[in-house]
Amino acid sequence: MKRTPFNTDWLVSGIAGSAKPTAVTLPHDAMLYEKRDPATANGYHTGFYPGGVYRYSKTFVAPEAWRGQHVVIEFEGVYMRSEVYLNGVLIGGRPSGYAEFRVVLDDHLKYGEDNLLEVVANNPSGPNSRWYSGSGIYRPVSLLIGPLLHIDPTGLQLRTISLEGTNATVHARATVTNDDIKARTSTLRVTLTGPDGKEISATSQEVVTPPGTNSVHAVEFTIDGAHLWSPEHPHLYSVYAELADKNDGLDTVEDTFGIRLVTVNAHQGLQINGATTKLRGGCIHHDNGIIGAHTLEAAEERRIRILRDAGYNAIRSAHNALSRATLRACDKLGMLVMDELGDEWWRPKSRDGFSRHFLEWWQRDLDALIAKDYSHPSVIMYSIGNEIGEISTDQGKALGYDIAAHARSADPDRFITNGVNVFLSFIAPKDDPKVESEKVENKEKAGNPEKTIAMLNFLMGAFEKLTPLLLRLPQAENRTREAQFALDVAGYNYGHDRWVRDTKRYPDRVIVGTETTPSTTATLWRLINAMPNVIGEFVWTAWDYVGEAGIATQQYDSPRKLFQPYPALLAGAPIIDITGYRQPWSYYNEIVWGRTRGPFLSVRPLNHAGQKRTKNNWRPTDTVHSWSWSGYEGVKAEVEVYADAHRVDLHLNDKLIASRKVREKKQYRTVFSMPYAPGKLTATAYDKSGNVVGSETLASAGPETVLRATAERSEATADGADLVFIDVELTDNTGVLKPLDDRPVTVNVEGEGTLLGFGSANPATAEQLSSPTHSTYQGRAQAIIRTTTRPGEITFTASADGLTQATVKITTSDNSGKSARGLRGILQA
């Protein structure tokens, strides 16, 4: 079916403070424009953003040419419990906020007239998510039009069924749908094109489809000397299918895929095309930080590119189905994917969560996830849940087997895992689903946010202290045995203390750390490298996110708290912040993984000198990459140097401060203490023979303060969906960042673009991400501009009191090097 973006000319109503409907271009996150509220029922879960009931509407003309055609509207994601109306008639919807769904418009269209399409997103009460969810039609919408005899909207499904060296056999499957009242005979032609754009092979077959039925038709291609897809070489092929009868062409569909063969066993581990691969994985949430849940191609591809450049080769979706845009980026850039079904089964984790729909909808949601993922070479694994406490019950054990079996029947090539948390299997209640749901609802109605936070902080203390002890008990294995038996790859959330003993008990068990803490990276990678059956880990989290406010934020001089009260906004994860800026622990990871030897210099912030860090396994350090601490001269500075070396020397202004051996028990981490003085701080690392491994220098900023604005690119596409990321920084004249000179900055956008978001990596601020004024954090902020559909010029300005204004100009055009992305977005089925 012909696929056309259906994202422009919408109106939305229901956002608090908006007296009349607002014109928007989809995707659109309504929650981002709500005023943050300390009293919202969502609380820390969403960073104190409330939800609401949002009605989206679009008026369009259905031309007479559509009569006799099949017309479908496709939603990639609406958060949540959506209802779709056409001309006042309810015609569809979906409880899940993450599952793709389609609605047929045929029976209710008025041909040659205006038609009113309305979508209601019901997200009013909360909490229904344990992180920032966003609200509304936050993923793209497409209009699909085709004849009564057409290729199903799921498109082509491709898989590699055999691979010997570079000789491959590829299986392509298309479903032909006949909505006509008579049987139809047609010809299905499928053409394969190589990564170089040259046609490789084509095949045709006659298709006979009875009336009112679907028929599945498969073809096979044998390819000699195939260009294989892998994380290192993500080669992509194109496939084009055309359905025609004797008179005319009927329907076409185009897709891309990669030829690769993935295997896993306890002896060779995970192998891609015969090469053993260890997963340097990171969990990521679906929000895009400053722009909330807006799911746009440019943001998703940028995030995957930054993660790849930081050394990651795999992501785990936490805890929901990934967007198509993310999958396309992973295919293109060579990022492996564990796509996850959801966070709840029948047992609620929040008062208004998806658990009350799960038993009714899990099969359809799983089918939608697999249909979306099937042809993507980046997807290697499905996770059927995250920290599901009911896996230790009889019903939960049986359901785990059922979900895994259903996934295998729909997709025989991907492996099945589950994020199993032993601690939760001990404390989870054993009531039946209805009783458990009522208990959660009554408890949340009777409770208050402060009391809830206090209880969670208590549980977190118990979790961190008791988990290592519980993991050693026989009951830990007994409570999770059946859940792991149902899987192809046993998933362990914070359960690495069981890896060795479970491997001895079950020598054929393949293990993955589905969720781990940043503080254990070095310890775990010794195990991962030593144990063939352990295929890698997914750290929580590789990219910071909105919501779960304060879980990884650095705290000082206070007892450990799991979550923070308002104005806490972000989780505060320590690897890559919400602007895409790499924090020191990101560089530490690369040293642990053996991708670089270092050294890397980082410094504990001197504005917190003398304060005691509260231990937090999700934040191993509070250091920043700076030696600019004006006003703290003479104050004791703690310098951390990360290096895979024998010895590290630290110099300040060419004077040796100290020379230290890198101790194995310190895990590539050497700490120096010294009084702060401005100048150049240099770390030099040496091997055992005294040869220089590497060096790095941090320079102090000068006294002047300059406001800088730097766009990541100067050209963009005028398609209403492209984005330009602009870093706003406070530096000296040479560009050295000044982390102590933070102040409010106001930005303005003129021309063919709009400000989609403006913010910083500050984990606790009362400022809005949708406001044009925001304070920098550690010298940095970021603005994100969304293009319009008209080519032209965008002028961006940033201003702050006492500083010279910074200006950036961007040109937008119909084709600025993104034609491939646009075609892929239109034709992807």
CATH classification code of 706-827:
2.60.40.10
Segment 763-770 shows an average pLDDT of 96
Domain 595-625+631-699, CATH number (from 2.40.37.10, 2.60.40.10, 1.10.10.60, 3.40.50.1360): 2.60.40.10
- pLDDT confidence of residue 453: 47
Please give the structure tokens belonging to residue 14: 């229901």
Segment 692-716 shows an average pLDDT of 98
- pLDDT confidence of residue 827: 25
Superfamily of domain 2-146: Galactose-binding domain-like (2.60.120.260)
- pLDDT confidence of residue 461: 56
How many angstroms separate the first and last alpha carbons of the chain? Answer: 8
pLDDT confidence tier of residue 536, bands split at 50, 70 and 90? very high
- pLDDT confidence of residue 426: 74
Find the largest Cα–Cα distance for the chain. Answer: 89
- pLDDT confidence of residue 828: 27
Segment 293-317 shows an average pLDDT of 98
* Angle between helical axes of 324-333 and 355-373 (0-180°, round to 10): 40
- pLDDT confidence of residue 652: 98
CB atoms closer than 10 angstroms to residue 78 = 31
**Is 636 within 8 Å of 675 (Cβ atoms)?**
yes
Segment 223-241 shows an average pLDDT of 97
Task: Kindly list the domain boundaries of the chain, sorted by start residue.
Answer: 2-146, 149-257, 262-590, 595-625+631-699, 706-827
- Calculate the alpha carbon distances from 490 to 266, 284, 382, 394, 732 in Å: 11, 20, 12, 19, 51
DSSP letter string over 208-224?
Answer: EE-TTEEEEEEEEEEET
The predicted-structure confidence for 259-290, as pLDDT tens digits, reads as follows 999 999 999 999 999 999 999 999 999 999 99
Burial letters 558-576, b for 16+ CB under 10 A, else e:
eeebbbbbbbbbbbbbbbb
Kindly give, in sequence order, each residue whose CB lies less than 8 Å from that of residue 665, ignoring residues fewer than 6 positions away. Answer: none
Task: Judge whether 262-590 and 706-827 match in fold.
Answer: no
pLDDT confidence tier of residue 433, bands split at 50, 70 and 90? low
From 427-431, 497-501, 811-815, the region with the lowest mean pLDDT: 427-431
Segment 162-185 shows an average pLDDT of 94
**Is 502 within 8 Å of 261 (Cβ atoms)?**
no
Q: For 262-590, which CATH class?
A: alpha beta
- pLDDT confidence of residue 459: 55
Q: How far apart are CA 283 and CA 312, in angstroms?
A: 11
**Is 695 within 8 Å of 684 (Cβ atoms)?**
yes
Q: How far apart are CA 783 and CA 289, in angstroms?
A: 11
The predicted-structure confidence for 508-524, as pLDDT tens digits, reads as follows 999 999 999 999 999 99
- pLDDT confidence of residue 825: 29
pLDDT at 428 over 80: no
Q: How far apart are CA 734 and CA 737, in angstroms?
A: 9
Rg of the chain (C-alpha set): 27
Segment 800-811 shows an average pLDDT of 98
Segment 345-361 shows an average pLDDT of 94
CATH classification code of 149-257:
2.60.40.10
- pLDDT confidence of residue 657: 97
Please provide the average confidence, as pLDDT, over all residues in the chain. 93
Amino acid making up residue 561: K
Segment 205-219 shows an average pLDDT of 92
Using DSSP's 3-state secondary structure scheme, residue 569 falls into coil
* Residue percentage of the chain with pLDDT more than 70: 94
- pLDDT confidence of residue 820: 34
The predicted-structure confidence for 190-200, as pLDDT tens digits, reads as follows 999 999 999 99
Q: Count H helices, E strands: the chain?
A: 12, 44
The predicted-structure confidence for 571-606, as pLDDT tens digits, reads as follows 999 999 999 999 999 999 999 999 999 999 999 999
Q: What is the DSSP letter of 375?
A: T
Task: Report which secondary-structure segment, H or E, holds 521.
Answer: helix 521-530
Sheet with 101-104, strands from edge to edge, namely: 2-5, 141-146, 70-75, 101-104
- pLDDT confidence of residue 439: 53
Q: How far apart are CA 538 and CA 528, in angstroms?
A: 12
pLDDT confidence tier of residue 17, bands split at 50, 70 and 90? confident
Residue 494 falls in which region: left (phi positive, over 0), alpha (psi -120 to 50) or beta: left
CB atoms closer than 10 angstroms to residue 51 = 29
The predicted-structure confidence for 68-115, as pLDDT tens digits, reads as follows 999 999 999 999 999 999 999 999 999 999 999 999 999 999 999 999
